[in-house]
Structure 1
Amino acid sequence: MPATEARRIEVGGASPYTVEVGRGLLSTLSVPHKQVALLHPDDLPPSLVAQVQAALSPTLTLSLPPRDDCKTLEVFSAVLSRVAGANLTRDSAVVGLGGGALTDLAGFVAASYLRGVAYYAVPTTLLGMVDAAVGGKTGVNLPEGKNLAGAFWPPKQVWADVDTLASLPDATFREGAAEIFKHGLIADPSLLPRVLAPDFGPRSPELPLVIADAVAVKAGVVTRDLTEQGERAYLNFGHTLAHAIEAVTNHAVSHGDAVGYGMHYAALLSREMGGADLTAHTRAFLAYQRPSTLPFLTFEQLWPYMARDKKADAEGVRFVLLQGLAQPHLTRVPEEVLRRAFAEWQRQLTPAAHH
């Protein structure tokens, strides 16, 4: 798909912007700023970084630790110091090139430097394209949990160049598919069989359309509810347990894999709470995803992190559950139900639970 055939998805709200999805987009990048700070993880292919540098002529290029290793207050502080040291002014821009963790950090740097400069996202992972880079959530992790410090700071533009996915390891691609599958469960069931299709992969001719349809789900939700007062919480289906798994394992289980496991738990909870039984869907996804093996985890280990989840309020923890396909709702779940579903989840998914 040449760049001219890119699909454009509009994200509305107070700060509207466009997400372009297509092939061959990197060579078309341009931003209307004289000073640009380009941030990327140090494990990106150098040819890809060079292509973006050629298009944008950045004032400053910073190579950062990969994945969640860049989402720390230490890295955030160091990047701000480098940007300030380069004398970037208020009309400058920060461009985040990389996966979801990198774009989360880059957006938070843009939101914080001089109380906010322009931010552009160039996601290079499937997870980044369909989830992290769209929606304006930026931030870093704290030892106490995922994404506990950050800001809502929408990008000015997002370019999702599907060609960049060809260099991803298969496992990383399948990780990102978790967010597409989640969008299918909560809003657009047509996405479910497309993710599970035998030819679904980085070179699938259908991939740009699948990504664009998944982005459209998120774009619709964040247009209506940027700051998660209501509907946006539905995008966190499966994420309450997922974030806890990431925190307890110190990110040894990746975000996408944790979401795969977390969606199955949320499906078990949905069934326990009187919703449709969608566990066959979540099990089929896990069979496709083949996530990394879970260490043996207890409810007691995970519970403190679930209790700190950002959907929690003064009265306790709320979960996104499904009454049926594309019928999400946010509800409090009694602790005995959480424990009962967890025991079943553990029995089904943790090899060590059988010993």
Structure 2
Amino acid sequence: MPVQHTDPAAPAIEARGLTKRFGDTQALDGVDLHVAPGTILGVLGPNGAGKTTAVRVLATLLKPDAGSARIGGHDVVADAARVRQLIGLTGQYASVDEALSGTQNLVMIGRLLDLSGRAARARAAELLAWFDLTEAADRPARTYSGGMRRRLDLAASLVGRPAVVFLDEPTTGLDPAKRDDMWNVVRAIVADGATVLLTTQYLEEADALADRITVIDRGRVIADDTPDALKRVVGGQTLSVRPADPARLADAEAILREITGAPVGSPGAGVLKVAVSGDEAMSAVVARLAAASLTVTELSLHLPSLDEVFFSLTGRSDDEAAAGPPTGGGQRMELVA
């Protein structure tokens, strides 16, 4: 399913100094974005950070007070009509007509996009097959499960073969198996040449899908890099060890402390964790554990989690952001594009 043509020399998305104010609220305060074609961008930040406002500006739903933005080389204000032809948008809630069948929903959208009746029906059949909805094609959408509705909604955003797709929490409410299916769909969209802007409440989803993450807080970009590079912001890696024999936990702790020279923590029963500055510690620990005949059931070296990155950059963890402080200043942390 080839996407629509855009300027191959232009970024898929480019924003410079985007500014937007609503009354006394500065929603955007000079936001810059640069997204290469065929990639997935996640923009991280707490609710109220300005993420949704940025998306609306990029999707031509809002005009910025200052700054500029382009989709595939086309200005979102001066050439808004062309930009709308290049993008697809899936919101948090299904926007399909529940009284219509899956086929009727997609054909209707195709006709609104000026496809002929034959072309609209062909495109609808193609998308229904791609999203494994062919057997339900003639059923009213109200009879679909939550996962089926989300797939139909995403299919609707792809009728016009958009070059840039905005996905706002596409897996909310889906069980783990259906989430994995949706992840595969997102990857397939990108494999077909589109660029995806992803919003999600699931941190592992952003980690698994995003090529690059931009962090926005209080209307400003405070970080922009790959997920792995952002994880290194909080300082190095963590080595985890779980002895097979809990009685030898103290022996394993002594080995870790001797090799790393750092404090050893025990966040869970039978597990030891210590911060390390490089990969060398892993080899040394493996050798010492073997010499001590100390068998382990877990031994891993990993970067910090995205949740730790959130806290490092914004001063709030995901759980704290979800609960909000007593003053009501913070809300749930999420990834959005």
Give the TM-score normalised by the residue count of structure 2. 0.31
Of structures 1 and 2, the larger Rg is shown by 2
- Kindly indicate which of the two structures has a greater share of residues assigned to strand: 2
Greater helix fraction, Structure 1 or Structure 2: 1
Q: Which has the higher contact order (CA 8 A, sep 6+)?
A: 2
